[in-house]
Amino acid sequence: MRCRNQAIADAAAHYDRGRDLPKILGATAEEFADVSIKDQRNRVGRLLRLARNSARSGRAGHWSFDPKRHVAILGALRAEQAELDARTGRARHESASPSCARTAIST
């Protein structure tokens, strides 16, 4: 069984905004064509809310919870946040170790 953080890292590494974000957020690719920092912050906010709602459904045992979708959401969130941090000059200090420590994005 793979570690949760490794699965999220794999999802982030294979993330393609044009392919994955429309499926995750249920919108068209044209809506995500804008690359301004403001719009990217909005995308990160939407992904964060979606990740929290997905985690809440999972904890509640809701029938519609999909662990693979949740990992895809967290991978997209990690990739979008990393790109936003790089563009704004902020650095995130994640203490992710090979032993699967919890990271800052653990919803």
pLDDT for the residue 96? 43
82, amino acid identity: A
Per-residue pLDDT reduced to its tens digit, 53-74: 999 999 999 998 999 999 999 9
99: which DSSP letter? Answer: T
What's the domain range around 34?
4-88
Asked if residue 43 belongs to a domain, the reply is yes
Q: How many residues does the chain have?
A: 107
Asked if residue 77 belongs to a domain, the reply is yes
Q: Which residue has the higher pLDDT, 66 or 91?
A: 66
Q: Could you give the C-alpha distances from 36 to 1, 59, 67, 87, 88, in angstroms and in order? A: 39, 35, 31, 10, 11
Q: At what angle do helices 17-25 and 37-60 cross, to 10 degrees?
A: 50
Asked if residue 42 belongs to a domain, the reply is yes
Asked if residue 79 belongs to a domain, the reply is yes
Q: Could you give the C-alpha distances from 46 to 16, 27, 51, 100, in angstroms and in order? A: 17, 12, 9, 26
Asked if residue 32 belongs to a domain, the reply is yes
Please state the domain count of the chain: 1
Per-residue pLDDT reduced to its tens digit, 19-36: 888 889 888 777 777 778
How far apart are alpha carbons 80 and 43 in whole angstroms? 8
Asked if residue 59 belongs to a domain, the reply is yes
